[in-house]
Structure 1
Amino acid sequence: MLERMEMMKPVGIILDQCLNLKVGEQFLVLADTENLRIGQMFALAGQERGAETIFLTYSPRTRHGEELPGIIADAMKAADAIVAPTAFSVNHTSARKRASDAGARLIFFPGCKEEMFLDGCLDIDFTRQAKIIADLSEILEQGEHVHIATDDGRTDLKIDIRGRHAVPQNGICHEPGTISPPPCIETAVSPVEFTTEGVICIDGAIVPGGEVLDPFDIRFEKGRIVEIDASGKDGLLLKNLLASYDDENIYAHVELGFGLNPRARIGRGVELEDEGEFGTIHLGIGNGITFGSSIRASGHIDLVVRHPIVSVDGKVVLQDRQLSL
């Protein structure tokens, strides 16, 4: 009972501070069968706030971005506000895009686990972090060329972002069509298709997959992964994961994201914390339509780097886990 009460605090933060749920709104709680208890808490909290609350469940998908049943997609499109605690992400789906286009506000929790409602990663000042996210987003919005390096010299990656729009996800979804996946609060930008070049060492996490304990290098040519160092277990995990999709576009680089949650931590077993830890970056590969890319794939994977040095148009914006805005 005590644990349930502790979990209700971040549930309330999400509905009040992040979603700004209002009396009478059509509120959809969308939980797969692995997250029924969390879904029930959101449904109860929604009812307590006077929202017209609908609770739908479905069998877990098999991977991020896998399309949802038609009845779920229709309900999402009709909702004013949605919370989706699920094993795999609903974000990179046509159903989510149609719902956003129709004006639904969405907070989604891919890789959802009860631990994230207990470890403090949702107990942050989302409004304060939103200002930081907005400032970094503006730099990306105006930027043209990104360079990523690391102190050990293993990373040397060039990304072309000319003409691309930043996609901030600050945890605050008060306006129609906005989305965010707290505790992964971030800003992201999509590279110009098939232009990313160079090598990057992945030493943080594979999402989905978990914390990287055996760092490995990957090489991009013309915006695609062409080489993975699979001599260790984590590189081999990624190589096999990508091959399992049987989709050439799963190797395409579609996102550069910056983790901006000061209370998220890699290695707690929560995917959203793995890519949300402040001072890290992640490269998204595969499906990129939600970031403004034209590349479609059967899934989306994020690769996290712990201590990057990131420059935009020659100016360092991130080094030693500190932003220079």
Structure 2
Amino acid sequence: MLSDRIEGKWIDAFCEIFERCAVKPGDTAAILSETQSRALNVHIAELALLRMGAKPFHIIVPTPRNVQIVPVRSTGASEAIQRLAPVVTALRQAGFVVDCTVEGLMHAAETPEILKAGARILVISNEHPEALERMVPDSGLEKRVRAAARMLRGTKRMRVTSTAGTDLDVNMEGASTVGIWGWTDKPGTLAHWPGGLVVSFPKSKSVNGTLVMAAGDINLTFKRYLTSKITMTLTDDYVTGLAGEGADAELMRRYLAAWGDREAYAVSHVGFGMNPAARYEALAMYDRRDTNGTELRAVAGNFLFSTGANEFAGRYTAGHFDLPVMGTTIELDGAAVVRDGVLQDVFG
């Protein structure tokens, strides 16, 4: 376990990311946290903002009771605000919001209202700052992610294949695509740090075929490298078959079934990692309490497949899997952007 001691180099890293978020001296900044937030990150965020001459203030809410039947991890849909109007009002007026909640505001119910008011939100993933320090993004990453997002928005078909047996077809027409490079400097926008990935939310009945996760692929909800193969059959967006022997497949079957919700079996988003600084082996280097796994989502060349809520297809559920799959070939309208797990040099 890493030591929870404030280091000057971590304040430096937070200052770098806040500078990219266009924080200026005299700016007001809200630091949103909950009682179970990583206190180290909350404190470093405050010190960094103060060093920059900004005027931070804290909003701390009690971590709510988990009303689900299973533990909830890595959903990106924090329920910490609990629709409290005074909290939402304060965040709307803040200008810049540093989100240190455990799950993050990416898909939180209150986020659209906060963004509509012009606030910009930086979600600091619930990682130990040692990981954040390594993952401060640069302008080159932004350019590549922007280029990939433009390409995905113009794509009609995504095909994903692998020697392990994956053969997945995704209709991309009408899909909503987001590129995340790790910071946000425009009013009404949200980004998360670490960044370096693109994801698309396909419309209803767009995903069909077979996805094979091999040993070494990752289930980030469980923070676990797979040790055995799992084969998923996808029919009109839904996992209609999940075959495999051993603990990996059984854990997934039990977790999906526990929700008692058909939408937990549906596709949330598809995409790929683009960050060359993100390390595949990082999950093995941290205690589970010290990582949220966002780095693994951004590993260059992964196929990031996720189940759960997809508002663009009219589906809502609290169940969620993020599954980085290695070694695939991803083709966009026939052009390979990832080949055998290697991101191709097509984005500049």
* 1:39–1:55 Cα contact (<8 Å) kept: no
Unaligned runs of 5+ in 2: 67-71
Shift of 1:60: 4.0
Per the alignment, in what secondary structure is the counterpart of residue 86 of structure 1? coil
Q: 1:262 to 1:80 in 2, by over 3 A?
A: same
**Partner residue, 1:260:** 274
The answer on 1:210 being equivalent to 2:231 is: no
- 2:7 counterpart (4, 14, 22): 4
- What is the aligned partner in structure 2 of residue 141 from structure 1? 153
Task: Please show how residues 94-133 of structure 1 align to structure 2 within 5 Å.
Answer: 94-118=109-133, 120-122=134-136, 124-125=137-138, 127-133=139-145
| CA distance in structure 1 between the aligned counterparts of 2:63 and 2:13, rounded to whole angstroms | 23
Counterpart AA for 2:242 = I
- Aligned-residue Cα RMSD (Å) equals 2.2
1:72-221 maps to which residues of 2 (within 5 A)? Answer: 72-118=87-133, 120-122=134-136, 124-125=137-138, 127-152=139-164, 154-203=165-214, 204-214=217-227, 215-221=229-235
Following TM superposition, by how much is the alpha carbon of 1:323 offset from its aligned partner in structure 2, in angstroms?
Answer: 1.9
User: What corresponds to 2:324 in structure 1?
Assistant: 304
Match of 1:323 in 2: 344
On the 8 A contact 2:194/2:294 being kept in 1, the answer is yes
Letter in 2 for 1:228: L
For the residue of structure 1 that corresponds to 2:175, the secondary structure is coil
Q: Secondary structure at the match of 1:47?
A: helix
Partner SS, residue 197 of structure 1? strand
Superposition deviation, residue 48 in structure 1? 2.4
Q: Structure 2 CA distance, aligned partners of 1:141 and 1:185?
A: 17
- Figure out how many residues of one structure are paired with residues of the other and give that number: 318
SS of equivalent to 1:162: coil
Q: Which runs of 5+ in 1 are unaligned?
A: none
Are residue 40 (structure 1) and residue 39 (structure 2) matched? no
Partner residue of 1:240?
254
Q: Distance in 2 between matches of 1:182 and 1:243?
A: 31
Q: 1:317 to 1:240 in 2, by over 3 A?
A: same
State the distance in 1 between where 2:252 and 2:173 align. Answer: 29
Question: Shift of residue 142 of structure 1?
Answer: 0.7
Q: Once the two structures are superposed, what CA deviation does each residue of 1:45-85 show, in whole Å capped at 9, x if it has no partner?
A: 11222322111223446532242321443333332111223
When residues 247 and 74 of structure 1 are mapped into structure 2, their CA distance, relative to the original with a 3 A threshold, is: farther
- Note the C-alpha offset of 1:178: 1.7
Q: Is the 8 A contact 2:125 2:194 kept in 1?
A: no
What amino acid is the match of 1:175?
K
- The DSSP-based 3-state class of the residue aligned with 2:110 is helix
Q: 3-state DSSP class of the match of 2:176?
A: coil
For residues 259 and 196 of structure 2, the distance between their equivalents in structure 1, rounded to whole angstroms, comes to: 27
Q: Is structure 2 residue 61 aligned with structure 1 residue 54? A: no
Same amino acid, percent of matched pairs: 19
Matched residue, 2:69: none
Distance across 2 between alignment mates of 1:272 and 1:59 = 24
Structure 1 pair 261/219, CA: closer, same or farther in 2 (3 Å)? Answer: same
Q: Residues 233 and 240 of structure 2 are in contact (CA less than 8 Å); yes or no, is this contact kept in structure 1? A: yes
206-215 vs 255-264, which deviates more?
Answer: 206-215
Give the drift of 1:159.
0.6
Relative to structure 1, is the Cα distance of residues 171 and 97 closer, same or farther in structure 2, using a 3 angstrom cutoff? same
Q: TM-score scaled to structure 1, two decimals? A: 0.90
Q: One-letter code of the match for 2:325?
A: V
Is the CA contact (8 Å cut-off) linking 2:6 and 2:40 kept in structure 1? no
Seen in structure 2, the aligned counterparts of structure 1 residues 50 and 232 have a Cα distance that, compared at 3 Å, is same
For 2:310, the equivalent position in structure 1 comes to: 288
Using the alignment, how far apart are the partners of 2:244 and 2:91 within structure 1?
A: 40
Measure the CA separation in 2 of the matches of 1:79 and 1:257: 32
Following TM superposition, the consecutive aligned residue runs of length 4 or more in structure 1 with deviations greater than 6 angstroms are none
| C-alpha contact (below 8 Å) 2:78/2:101 kept by paired residues | no
| Partner SS for 2:147 | helix
Counterparts of 2:128 and 2:112 in 1: how far apart (Å)?
A: 24
| TM-score, structure 2 as length reference | 0.84
Letter of the 2:322 counterpart: D
Equivalent AA in structure 2 for residue 195 of structure 1 = S
Deviation at 1:229, TM superposition (A): 2.5
* Structure 2 contact 272–301 (Cα < 8 Å) conserved: yes
Q: Which residue of 1 aligns with 2:238?
A: 224
